[in-house]
Amino acid sequence: MNQTLLNRSLQSVWHPCTQMKQHETYPLTPIARGDGVWLYDTDGKRYLDGVSSWWVNLFGHNNTAIKDAIKQQLDTLEHVMLAGFTHQPVVELSEKLAKLTGLGHAFYASDGASATEIALKMSFHFWRNSGKPSKTKFISLQNSYHGETLGALGVTDVAIFKDTYAPLLMQSAQMPSPDFRLAETGEGAEAYALRCADALEQYVSEHSHELAAFIIEPLVQCAAGMAMYHPVYLKCAREICTTYSVHLIADEIAVGFGRTGTMFACEQATEVNHALKERPVFADFMCLSKGITGGYLPLSVVLTRDEIYQAFYDEKVTKAFLHSHSYTGNPLACSAALATLSIFETDNILQKNRETSDFIWGEMQALNNLSSHNLPIEHLRRPNLNRSGMIFAFDVITQNPNFARDCYAAALAQGLLIRPIGNTVYLMPPYTINHEEISYALQASIHAVSKAVK
């Protein structure tokens, strides 16, 4: 291992989501290059990127199409401010996203948390511009994750990220999570989701005068530990928000761009109108980031409806949305996003993913057969009631308080990058993973889990 680089990193880089002292026993991994699903360290040892580098990489590292698009853009225009100026990539991307989502106005930022901030501010500001200044509060789901800046953390409900900063945060109420694992014994995922929707309606009906928006991660609460739920909850949430005039913010930062089997997870909430071949628009605001550039450059966007946009359109400057970030709509990032969207079309990715997902699911059934590996696991799952999607998770029953860390370390030693969340082990690989690589990842996972359960 390149000890000098590791030591210099520990001296000068404050790593995210890390107790730095733990690096006394768990060393950093210095990565020199990436190719396809593989990351290579400075000694040439390779690791299969089983978490798509924190859920951002869709089509593998060193992807020719995305790389070429960025290079071409680099020779034309690297950046220009988006206030008072515009450019081809940002216009094209906004038009494409409008077509895909039915939400015709795109506001850009650089990371997911900023997208959450923007959606919250826009919702509040819409009500204010519309003569309803009392609608200032937000609700989210129990165990939700919407980012870690102060506003986003205010609607996040993951104790380890939130509790320390509680005195700094705006208050928000959490609705019962429809996570199927929380159902009563004998109660199905759908019945439980409906029960949670009833609780949501109860709360919203009593508080609608002060509620601006309900923010939700459609189908999978990823950071909570890949908590999955029945799509009927989304359908109910949409109806409840419409009935009581509360905005619905779909945070598709993690699940957007094909992760759950459809381009966007919230598509699964609504029926296709076959006469029009269209789905009704689900969200008032949709937040996108992570996979949007295929994992190449930071970019996020909040999409919204024309009616909301129109409430800001006025002679008065203060009615405008004056929010800004320096790198808003960066042309290089937009060109990476356009190349990413092209791959979905040219390579028929959603169809291909269905096949890959079914293959992985089939292989994972062997895991479910506990006797073959003696692994104490439960709740083996993938999105859409196990029907599709490129997220695979199970929970490990163990008394080891350091299970996540030990499993991570054991997998790395086997040449696999996974990052368990508590006792939940998941794979969220790049869509380009092939059969051989899938077997490799599953073998290494089994090995790592069996080592870490103790």
Ligand X SMILES: *Cc1c(COP(=O)(O)O)cnc(C)c1O
Of the pair 425, 453, the CB lying nearest ligand X is at: 425
In the complex, the residues that contact ligand X under the rule CB under 6 A are 111-113, 116, 145-147, 217, 222-223, 251, 253-254, 289-290
**For ligand X, which is the closer residue by CB, 283 or 453?**
283
Nearer to ligand X, 238 or 290 (CB): 290
Nearest to 341 by CA among 143, 164, 100: 100
Structure tokens at 381: 């799952």
Cβ 147 to ligand X, closest distance in Å?
4
Q: Strands of 31-35's sheet, edge to edge?
A: 31-35, 38-41, 46-49, 416-417
Q: Which is nearer to ligand X, 249 or 338 (CB)?
A: 249
Shortest spacing between CB 88 and ligand X, in angstroms: 25
Rounded Cα distance, 143 and 156, in Å: 7
Q: Which residue is nearest to ligand X (CB)?
A: 112
The residue among 36 and 329 lying less far from ligand X, judged by its C-beta, is 329
Q: For residue 76, give both structure tokens.
A: 């034309």
For residue 115, the minimal CB distance to ligand X (Å) is 7
Residue nearer to ligand X on the CB measure, 146 or 238: 146
Q: Is 13 exposed, middle or buried (0-12, 13-18, 19+ CB in 10 A)?
A: exposed
- Give, in order, the Cα–Cα distances in Å from 100 to each of 93, 94, 177, 228, 238: 11, 10, 28, 24, 19
Rounded (5°) CA angle 121-122-123? 90
Q: Cβ atoms within 10 A of the Cβ of 244, count?
A: 17
List C-alpha distances in Å: 288 to 5, 110, 203, 454.
34, 10, 27, 39
Contact in structure between 415 and 22 (CB atoms under 8 Å)? no
Beta strand 46-49 pairing with 416-417: parallel
Q: Name the DSSP class of 61.
A: B
Q: Please, what is the minimum distance in Å from the beta carbon of residue 72 to ligand X?
A: 26
Query: Please, which residue, 98 or 421, has the CB nearer to ligand X?
Result: 421
Q: Based on CB atoms, which residue is closest to ligand X, 49 or 251?
A: 251
Q: At what angle do helices 232-243 and 189-207 cross, to 10 degrees?
A: 10
